Every structure is written in C-alpha cells, then in structure tokens.
Structure 1
Amino acid sequence: MRIRSPGRGDALLTDLYQLTMLKAYWEHGLHETAVFEFFVRRLPPNRNFLLAAGLAPALDYLEGLRFEPDELEWLGGQPGFPSAFVEWLADLRFTGDVDAMPEGSVFFPEEPLLRVTAPLPEAQLVETRLISLLNYSSLIASKAVRFRLAAPTARLVDFGLRRAHGSEAGLLAARSAYIAGFDGTATALAGQRWGIPTFGTMAHSFIQAHDREADAFIRFARAHPRNAVLLIDTYDTEAGASKVIEIASGLRAEGIEIRAVRLDSGDLAAHARRVRRILDEGGCSGVRIFASSSLDEHDVARLAHAPIDGFGVGAALTVSADEPTLDSVYKLQEYAGRPRRKRSEGKATWPGRKQVFRTCEGGRLARDMLGLEDEALSGEALLRPVARAGARLRPDPPLKEIRERVRASLATLPSELRALKSARTPFPVEPSAGVRELAREVDRGSDGEQDG
C-alpha cells in the first residue's frame, strides 16, 4: 500500500453510504448549510481524560479532497450512480469552515473536538475519514500519555509500526505518541515527514549472523560509532553484558563509546539490576540501559524503580491494546439554520453549535461547561477557528508547540485524573442552561422526522 498524506487522493476511502446519501442530497437539492460535530460519547474504562490529536491530518484531508478520474470511472460503473451525478462529483471540493480544539488539549466525553460547517453534501461526505483520523490519533495520543505519566523522566520510543493495524495507522501512531510526550520513534517515514527524532539499534538476527556475539557487537559499534547501542539478550543477558565490558576499552581506543545496551526478554527488572552492576563494576557506568519486550504502561510503571533509562513500546501503544477504539461520533447538530437533535435511546445528542468553556482555579482544572457557541459563559473557549472556506487560516503549529500544550494541560489535571486507574469521581462536563433549553425546544417542535 502506498502511504499518502490524508487527502491526496483516495476520496473513495469512505463508507458507501456516504455516497448513496450524497446522491440523494444531489437529486433532491439538499445543499443548505449543515453543522456537524465530532465528539466522544464516553470514556473507556481506566481512562480519566483523553488527548486531542489528528487535527492536522484531518485538515490535510479536507484541503486535498477531490475525486480522481479512476475513482469517478469506477463509481460510474456502479449501480445507482448516474453519469450526471458522477460529473457533479468531479467538481466537488470541501468549501466549509472548521472550528476545533488545538491538538494536545485534554478533553472529556460530550465535548466537541471539531465542528464542520459546510453545505450538507460536503459535510456528510467527510464523516468517515474525519472519524477515522481523529478517533485513531486521539486514541493513540491518549494511550501514549499514560506511558509518560507512568515514567515521567524515562526515554520513551515508539517501536510499534510492525504490529500496527496497517501502515497508515503505524505512521499516525508515531505522530500521536510524539505529541503526547514520547521522545521519538523507530518509524523512519515519521522522521522524514514530521521531523520526529528516530531511534534504531539492531535485531537479534544481526547477532545470530555472527559466529561470536562479541564480534557482532564490535562490528555494529564500528558501523555506528556515534550510536553504539547493543542488544545483549540473544543468548544470555548477563554474559552479553560481560562481553560489552570486554570490548569497551578497545572500542574506546578507537574513539567509540558504547552508549547503551538493550534488554528485550525475561525479567527485565532483575536483568537490569544485574546488568547495571556488571557495567558499573567493569568501568562502564556511563552505559545506559534500554528495555523493550511487549510493554504496556502498567509494566513501565512497575519498572520505574529498576535501573532502566528508557523503554521501547510496541503493540500495546499502536493498537491501544487494552482499549482499541473510542466511542466517537460525528453528528448533525444544525441544518438550514435549524438546530437538530438525535434522540435515539442511549445515543441522544445535544443540539446546536456548541462550545466548551473551561475554568481553572489555582492552576487546576475545575470545571468544563458545554455551552452554545454564542452563549456568554465564563471560562476559556476551547474550540477555535482553524479553517474558513475550505482553507487553513494559519500553518499547523510545530509539533514542539503541541508537546508543550500537552505538558501544560497535564499540569492542570488533579492528581486523581492523572492516575492509570479510573478516578472515583469522573470529571463532570455540565451542559449549560442554554443547551438544555435548546434541546427542550427541539424536542417540542420535532415529530421525529428531523432527527440527525
């Protein structure tokens, strides 16, 4: 699969029902302005907050949205799509407005991360891809930040590309993990595309390709004199550490310093303690210890007191193994100037264009109010204009700036919300009086045929 930036082709990377609805909208002239909002209905278990991510890829998609000739040709050959409709699609572009929370913002259920205001066909067509990009990116950022909370000072590196559910997922995971506080990734394309620091050492196969483990160490160190990180657990971890001691002085005479050793199997805490002792007693106290091996955030927290300087994290991150999805939706809140409200059992929505008003007291998050966009409520308004008439209002912020926003957001969280287990009292998000009254008005005036 060729990895393209979101929006560079692939307009058919969507659910067919978006296209069947588009055809019906086109046929019946339903093209007035619609307002959709993307939000998460509920927190997954053991999550006390979520982290917004994926806005830049989402805007890439919206700005680049167009049907390519081969896509139009295929669609024209499918039943139910007449040539006039296909010709109309050839000129379709996203021309709407987008308001969104900045990436790196802490958010909670029912709070819109993103609002699209556009002609109904455009706003409808983009649903599937926006959910995909925002859901996955926010899911992984919310998972990654748990590793950073578990190990505030350790080096954290994303190792998860090879077990991600698809190449695009692995690439987006590298970006989401980095903005959430990881130090870098093993995914080379993430380094090329976004400037994320990349890290790589060696595989066990490099060791096995040599008759002597020490020869493998020496050759790798000479090949990478400024980044000599040696994998020492292929045969016997402690014996591997002893071989590092044996070769260290000779390499040092060549101007090569061994930077670190990596442990990838067994009882990591016990091995790390023994390896640390071997290295220190052998005059290699400056050699750091890096650990990997199917680690989740709870493993990292348990290893916090072991002499381990950093962790490589794989599948547990890139598939968010304990909670592999968010209950996120993209719902119609207004059409043709009239607020709309879904009333399905267990899935009701609040109508109208909404804003999140956040209040901090004494440097700590105190409350969020879900209000109407034009309500005069206290607190910081979190949704901000990011695109108008289909184009970004400003360049994407550097990832460094997003990382700083994450750190600042985490600093405002009460300690109970920073824990890896569920808080006894979830953080409340209160709908405003205006939101509640608008819902009552919509319910009174609706016979059920106007639900979004």
Structure 2
Amino acid sequence: ASVLGARAAVIGGCGSTSNVLSAAKYNIPVAGTMAHAWVQSYPTELEAFEKWAEVYPDNALLLVDTYDVLTSGVPNAIKVFKELRAKGHKKFGIRIDSGDIAKLSRKARKMMDDAGFPEATITASNALNENVIHSLLQEGAPLDSFGVGEQLITSSSSPVLSGVFKLAALKIGDGEWQPKIKLSNSKEKVTLPGEKKAYRLYHKGTKNAFADVIALADEELPEEFTGINMDPMMTETEADLKDFDAVLLTQVVVGPKAKSIETDTFKIQKHMYEKLAELPEETQRLLNPDRYPVYLTPALADLQAKMIKDHKLK
C-alpha cells in the first residue's frame, strides 16, 4: 500500500518520494532528509551536519530543529553552506519539523539571506495536510517545499474505500446486450442500466468544462437537450444543455479487452494537471467546493425509470 500510495501521491501532484522501492519501481525521484536520531548520534549538531554534507554534497538538506532552530540549527547550517560553496557546491537547504513553522521560516529565511544564501531552500514537515499548507502559504511563510506523510496516503477520516461491482448489462451468446439494474430504497444506490459512454461538455470554443454527461453507448448527443441531474441531493433535477462542445471521455475497456494505458508516472501527472485546469475553479476549493454536475441523457434516464417501473409491476 505504501509503494502504490507513493505513486498515487506523485500522480496527484507530489514531485518525489522518500519510499525507495516506489522510486525504483516507478522512476520517481527520491527525496528526504536526515532523522533527528542522526543529529543526536554525533557529539555536536555541527559535526552531524558536516558528516551529512560529505555524503550528500550536492543536495544537503539539513534538519535544523533537533535542539533550537534559530540559535543553533540555522547558524550551524550556514557554516556548512559556506564550506559547501567553497568547494563548488550550490544546492542546499534546511528542513523545519516542529514549532511555529511560519514564524521560524520567516526568521530563518532572513538569517540565510543576510548570510548570502538566498538560494538555500526551506522545507516544512510535521503532520502537514492541505489545510495546514494552505494556511502557511496564506501567512506568507517563505517555504519552498513540503514533506507530507501520514495525512496524505493514510485516510484518517474515511479509512475504508467502498468499491462494489454491479452488473450493468449481460450479453447472451452472440445476441445484443441486455440492460440490467440494481434497485434500492436509497436513490444513490440504484444503478444505471445498459452499455454506456461518457462525455465532457465544454463552453463552446473553449477548454472550460462545465458538466459531464452519461449516455447510452448507441446514442449521439444532440446539439441541445435536457440533462437529468444524477445527483439525488440536488434540487435542480434538470438542466437545459446547449452551446457546448462535447468530447467523448477516454474508453478504458473496448470490447473484451482493456486498452493499453500510460505507465509513466509523471506523464500521468501532467495529464492530471491538464484535466484539472479544465474544471471550474469553484469546484476546486478546499472548503465548501461546488459540486461538478453529472447529467444523464433523457434516453438513459427513461431506460432507468422504465426498468424500475417494470420491476414494481412484477
């Protein structure tokens, strides 16, 4: 789970991983810094930093909060930066893993700038999540990167991902697909019958998406139609859909076989960013985002309603 979780995190936007096996399997850059135990295992913090810089002279990221960030960690880091620069090395930085990260990072930034190291980076860690990171950036914390761990690939709020298989259509011999439906007293658990395809709708002439539409596999979208909102919690159950460009979403399974898919992690990440940029900004808010609407075509909605009715008449 940790290996695949690291890959998923990179697809979602992260740039590297500290999971060495995941890095090797999926060609992801390895990143990370020393542990506090490394610093504690040497007689002095400065010696610990110097030994680390011997091993990683071209990427010395020093953990500065083992004892005291501002009176010990950063001053010792600056001494090592001077030694590295004298030897021709240019890539180094610090990591802060505790305390008031916004305040400490501002003071550390000034100390390193005053010492002539504006290129030295600052990484923050310590139980970070999207809300903490957003708050730090809103405060103007001069942070270059974030080390995010357990709150990224371990779901504390919803530790079980419920995935359920339901049959949508059945093909008998060489005959046609027979639509199937699963009924429930809960509207959101009633399945969509039949073989289907999905479209993304864009405002005409743009790459700005405003809705997705699920249609039956053998129907084509008209230039204008009434979409049936498939979200049972929405009060607006229908919408007039017009003035759009429709793009058929990528088919993953064609006939009995799955299509070949991209396996390069960073190409998948690039595709993710491109698709995310097409969605409305209001649907991407961390707090209280708007719902991105998904509609059914009238033909699909009618088929679902007919199958529900036919079952009740039996």
- Is 1:320–2:164 an aligned residue pair? no
Cα distance in 2 for residues equivalent to 1:334 and 1:371: 14
Cα distance in 1 for residues equivalent to 2:269 and 2:20: 20
- Is 1:189–2:21 an aligned residue pair? yes
AA in 1 matched with 2:282: E
Partner of 2:86: 253
In the alignment, is the contact (CA less than 8 A) between 1:355 and 1:383 conserved in 2?
no
C-alpha displacement of 1:364:
1.4
Which of residues 229, 237, 247 in structure 1 aligns to 2:61? 229
- Is 1:200–2:11 an aligned residue pair? no
In the alignment, is the contact (CA less than 8 A) between 2:121 and 2:144 conserved in 1?
yes
C-alpha displacement of 1:249:
2.2
C-alpha displacement of 1:264:
0.3
C-alpha displacement of 1:447:
6.0
C-alpha displacement of 1:170:
1.1
Which of residues 180, 192, 206 in structure 2 aligns to 1:350? 192
Any idea what the Cα deviations from partners look like across 1:384-443, whole Å, max 9, x if unmatched?
1446545x54353422322222111121121111110123x4222111111112113323
Partner of 2:233: none
C-alpha displacement of 1:267:
0.6
Partner of 2:273: 407
- Residues 246, 399 of structure 1: CA spacing in aligned structure 2 closer, same or farther, 3 A cutoff? closer
Partner of 2:229: none
Cα distance in 2 for residues equivalent to 1:179 and 1:395: 14
Which of residues 252, 263, 273 in structure 1 aligns to 2:96? 263
AA in 1 matched with 2:218: D
Q: Give % identity.
A: 33
Partner of 2:201: 359
AA in 1 matched with 2:154: V
Cα distance in 1 for residues equivalent to 2:82 and 2:108: 18
- Residues 399, 291 of structure 1: CA spacing in aligned structure 2 closer, same or farther, 3 A cutoff? same
- Is 1:427–2:267 an aligned residue pair? no
Cα distance in 1 for residues equivalent to 2:197 and 2:101: 47
Which of residues 73, 98, 102 in structure 2 aligns to 1:240? 73
SS at match of 1:330: coil
C-alpha displacement of 1:322:
3.7
Partner of 2:50: 218
Relative to structure 2, which stretch is displaced further, 319-328 or 227-236? 319-328
Any idea what the Cα deviations from partners look like across 1:177-234, whole Å, max 9, x if unmatched?
1112111111111111111111122101100000100000000001111111111100
Cα distance in 1 for residues equivalent to 2:121 and 2:17: 18
In the alignment, is the contact (CA less than 8 A) between 1:316 and 1:322 conserved in 2?
no
In the alignment, is the contact (CA less than 8 A) between 2:81 and 2:92 conserved in 1?
no
Cα distance in 1 for residues equivalent to 2:101 and 2:127: 11
Cα distance in 1 for residues equivalent to 2:165 and 2:147: 34
SS at match of 2:211: strand
Give the TM-score normalised by structure 1: 0.58
Any idea what the Cα deviations from partners look like across 1:247-276, whole Å, max 9, x if unmatched?
332333333445110000011001101111
Cα distance in 2 for residues equivalent to 1:172 and 1:334: 32
Cα distance in 2 for residues equivalent to 1:271 and 1:234: 14
In the alignment, is the contact (CA less than 8 A) between 1:245 and 1:283 conserved in 2?
no
The structure that has the greater radius of gyration is 2
Partner of 2:115: 282
AA in 1 matched with 2:74: A
C-alpha displacement of 1:330:
2.3
Any idea what the Cα deviations from partners look like across 1:94-130, whole Å, max 9, x if unmatched?
xxxxxxxxxxxxxxxxxxxxxxxxxxxxxxxxxxxxx
- Residues 414, 265 of structure 1: CA spacing in aligned structure 2 closer, same or farther, 3 A cutoff? same
- Residues 311, 436 of structure 1: CA spacing in aligned structure 2 closer, same or farther, 3 A cutoff? same
- Residues 196, 448 of structure 1: CA spacing in aligned structure 2 closer, same or farther, 3 A cutoff? farther
Cα distance in 1 for residues equivalent to 2:51 and 2:113: 23
AA in 1 matched with 2:25: R
Q: How does 1:20-419 map to 2 (within 5 A)?
A: 169-238=1-70, 239-257=72-90, 259-304=92-137, 305-335=140-170, 336=172, 337-346=177-186, 347-361=189-203, 362-377=206-221, 379-386=246-253, 389-390=256-257, 392-394=258-260, 396-419=262-285
AA in 1 matched with 2:20: A
AA in 1 matched with 2:69: T
AA in 2 matched with 1:360: Y
Cα distance in 2 for residues equivalent to 1:330 and 1:401: 29
Cα distance in 1 for residues equivalent to 2:94 and 2:168: 54
- Larger RCO, structures 1/2 (Cα 8 Å, 6+ apart): 1
In the alignment, is the contact (CA less than 8 A) between 1:342 and 1:349 conserved in 2?
yes
Cα distance in 2 for residues equivalent to 1:345 and 1:443: 11
- Residues 415, 303 of structure 1: CA spacing in aligned structure 2 closer, same or farther, 3 A cutoff? same
Cα distance in 2 for residues equivalent to 1:416 and 1:183: 25
Give the TM-score normalised by structure 2: 0.82
